[in-house]
Structure 1
Amino acid sequence: MGQHMASMFVLPKEWTDTMKVLQDKCEPTQYNDLEVLFLSDMGAPIEELFDDFDPNPIGVASLAQVHVGHHKESGARVAVKIQHPHLAEFCEVDMEMVDITLGWVKYWFPQFEFTWLGEEMRTNLPKEMNFVIEAANASRAEAEFRDIRASLYIPKVIVSSKRVLIMEYIQGGRVDDLAYLADHNVDRNKVAIELSRIFNQMVLLNGWFHADPHPGNLLIRPSPPGSRSPYNFEIVLLDHGLYFDIDRKLRVNYSKLWLSLMAPASRPVLQERRKYAELVGNIDSDLYPVFEAAITGRAALEGSWEEIEDNKFRRASSVIDMVPQTDEEKDAIRHAVSQGDGILLSVLDVLRRVPRRVLMVLKLNDLTRSLDLALMTTHSNVPFSS
């Protein structure tokens, strides 16, 4: 949730800057401790299963770190994801501390209702800590895209246990590495379009989606021989620990909400937008402008948010009509959130009210929008309108 808050433009800049350190500033576990965990989970020491194993991790996240080795049995170069050894030991303590802290926040500041955050943590964290679940998610994701011609690639899982995951190693660059894209003659606009298409497919059609596509979980590489990608690149999706399903009724209503946002503003269209916002997000008319801003990543469409002083920028009639976001618009919405009477509380109220599945879709939306901005594309940066 801290990573999500770091990508939410509707929150004050001081909040998002504070939360950004949660995205990639993790400390590695000492190698000796990893050896003990590996032996406990796999029943054999690292040197027995690998011809070579780099003790220096290539990536360190909040739950685990990744090493590269050569797997004896498969004969393949592999990425080995190993959970931080004392994570499970302190997990329950952490969650209890979150519950107590949020309870006191609610007691002293009733308008800041965050207890749902602790509930969400208790539901999702055990899933992310079980790499057997992650392996199953990766297999299902691969199967759901098997008959779809897309640039998506899911690394093959070789061995999985609860705290160790051995998978195919993929050489590539971060998907937002502009120098890497240029060196390999990859069109960043096409990359952004493919990212949007992949995650739209998951949310709107498959009804089952990866909930954490931050840049550290996405690699890009030139298309190898036999690739199904329609372009000269493949997008490699990593870290399949957290997926959510979304039922057909919610998907249909969410699609209709986007269709109304894409239609030119008129009285019937404005009514449609509010109608589907209520069906999708449990959002009433008063909170609709904040919800619309969270979805579109923009200050306001025509007829949506009269409170924002928008004389310095043009308000679009629909997401199709949007022009690139100006500094004036960014300043206006930051000012509205930080200084406007009750607007920040409205943002928090939206986060509390929306169903948890919708909150995860908003997180996905924010992350894909951030990727689009990082890619410095020349087309619209409204990810679900393409």
Structure 2
Amino acid sequence: MARRALKLASLTAATSGIYLYGNKFLDPNDFGIVRVGRAVATVHLRSAERLRKLCCANRGTFIKVGQHLGALDYLLPEEYTRTLKVLHSQAPQSTRQEIEQVIREDLGKEVLLLVVKQIFPDFEFMWLVEEAKKNLPLELDFLNEGRNAEKVAHMLKNFDFLKVPRIYWELSTRRVLLMEFMEGGQVNDKAYMEKNGINVNEISRNLGKLYSEMIFVNGFVHCDPHPGNVLVKKCPASGKAHIILLDHGLYQVLSDSFRMDYCRLWQALIKADMKRVQKYSRRLGAGDLYPLFACMLTARSWESVNRGIDRSPVSAREDVEIRSNAAAYLPQITQLLNNVPRQMLLLLKTNDLLRGIESALHTRASASSFLNMSRCCIRAVSTYQRSKSHSLYRRAQISLAEALSLWQINLYELFLWLKGSQLGNWVIALLSRMHHSTY
């Protein structure tokens, strides 16, 4: 126990010192911007290696934190994500007793965070400790994990591409969970997919469908989709690519009021309706920081949010801007995380992990994925409205409006498909010739 605490204290002090005093020794006027960039990269790499070794040594909670950080390709320096990615598939194994001991030790040493808070006044991550206290016991209850697995399998049974391991209850207890063995490649392993003839765009699209259904329609969300928990495999018999969802210990249950506000916020973001973006961001606790909140949710710049996040793909310049702003706005980000409802914290974590997968596969959210999100939001809001209405006429109105909105989305999706297909090009060319021949 004392040894782990000493290791953590040592890492905290060393890393804080490096970043606290680094600017003093990294002045571009002294030895050039290129050398400064190399020096900063070296600092990042050294700190990341220290963090990886600490995670492997202390295991338990540390592994989970390292896995999450390793998935944030779009946000963190490459030296960190490259170093910590190994924890997704090569994490050291722990016994039950070791895990429980690490948790007791981790949650008993909030003092280290308080020390960092004194060094960096803008550091506001005590909420993370409170969330860990609440969620980690659930993750370690294997009967709870088994029930979650069966619930999500039943809830999403219409998705034939989803596979959830079967639970063998007769051989399971709170400390032992026996489930069906499933194997495949990690969902961020683009090389594996190309080697096995799996379409990365299809996987990314289906993953988006899966999580949109969980978040917007059901309000029961798998909150740990790091690449080690989401596998892909091509079925030899059917030739279809399956998504295998593992580790069902941590789920977020969303209240109806929160879910409806979140649905309407995403509808506003997709439509670039800034008045409603502001309205529903404020209702979700963002206050005057609603522009930052919108950028955090979409992983896009404020300029792109205003223009419409489905209008253009993420550019290299925008990626650099997002990474730079994440560091520059750390005090505001931590303030925002302190203010939003606790339900939002795990959703933000889930969003981060999904964005990391998209970044690794080079399939950042497309117009098609936003259309799927829109469908889920429309269905969710309509179902909620019908449940609150006692009038048959009003329920019929809601159903008609729902059908019309879904039809409009289908029509727009058909237009986009025609626009990008050879048939569509031929039709457009033919109509153009017919138009010019009339004059």
Instruction: Please state which structure has a larger fraction of its residues in strand.
Output: 1
SS in 1 for 2:228: helix
Question: What amino acid does structure 1 have at the position aligned with 2:205?
Answer: I
2:73–2:359 CA contact under 8 A, matched in 1: no
Q: Distance in 2 between matches of 1:107 and 1:377?
A: 41
Matched positions, count? 306
> How much does 1:105 deviate?
3.2
- Residues 315-361 of structure 1, C-alpha deviation per residue, up to 9 Å, x if partnerless? x611111x2222222222333344x4xx2211121222222211111
Show the counterpart of 1:89.
101
Alignment of 1:174-323 (within 5 A): 174-223=186-235, 232-264=240-272, 269-280=273-284, 282-285=285-288, 287-301=289-303, 317-321=307-311, 323=312
1:102–1:118 CA contact under 8 A, matched in 2: no
Identity of aligned residues (%): 32
> How much does 1:5 deviate?
4.5
SS in 1 for 2:307: coil
2:234–2:241 CA contact under 8 A, matched in 1: yes
1:131–1:165 CA contact under 8 A, matched in 2: yes
Show the counterpart of 1:105.
116
Question: What amino acid does structure 2 have at the position aligned with 1:223?
Answer: C
1:210–1:244 CA contact under 8 A, matched in 2: yes
Alignment of 1:9-48 (within 5 A): 13=77, 17-18=79-80, 21-25=83-87
Q: Distance in 2 between matches of 1:298 and 1:277?
A: 16
1:10–1:337 CA contact under 8 A, matched in 2: no
Show the counterpart of 1:149.
159
- Across the aligned residues of Structure 1 and Structure 2, the Cα RMSD in angstroms comes to 2.8
Q: Distance in 2 between matches of 1:11 and 1:345?
A: 16
Show the counterpart of 1:56.
none
> How much does 1:214 deviate?
1.0
Name stretches of at least 5 consecutive residues in structure 2 with no aligned partner: 1-64, 373-439
Q: Distance in 2 between matches of 1:289 and 1:249?
A: 22
Q: Distance in 1 between matches of 2:364 and 2:115?
A: 46
1:373–1:381 CA contact under 8 A, matched in 2: no
SS in 1 for 2:301: coil
2:167–2:178 CA contact under 8 A, matched in 1: yes
> How much does 1:109 deviate?
4.1
> How much does 1:244 deviate?
0.9
> How much does 1:204 deviate?
0.6
Q: Distance in 2 between matches of 1:195 and 1:244?
A: 17
Is residue 369 of structure 1 aligned with residue 369 of structure 2? no
Is residue 380 of structure 1 aligned with residue 391 of structure 2? no
Q: Distance in 2 between matches of 1:10 and 1:195?
A: 18
Q: Distance in 2 between matches of 1:234 and 1:12?
A: 30
Q: Which has the higher contact order (CA 8 A, sep 6+)?
A: 1
> How much does 1:256 deviate?
0.8
In structure 2, relative to structure 1, the CA distance for the partners of 1:356 and 1:17 (3 Å cut) is farther
Q: Distance in 1 between matches of 2:208 and 2:87?
A: 27
In structure 2, relative to structure 1, the CA distance for the partners of 1:7 and 1:197 (3 Å cut) is same
Name stretches of at least 5 consecutive residues in structure 1 with no aligned partner: 27-58, 66-82, 305-315
In structure 2, relative to structure 1, the CA distance for the partners of 1:383 and 1:355 (3 Å cut) is farther
Instruction: Please state which structure has a larger fraction of its residues in helix.
Output: 2
Question: What amino acid does structure 1 have at the position aligned with 2:201?
Answer: N
SS in 2 for 1:235: strand
- Residues 108-143 of structure 1, C-alpha deviation per residue, up to 9 Å, x if partnerless? 544322211111111111111222221111111112
Q: Distance in 1 between matches of 2:76 and 2:231?
A: 30
Q: Distance in 1 between matches of 2:276 and 2:210?
A: 27
SS in 2 for 1:164: coil
Show the counterpart of 2:394.
none
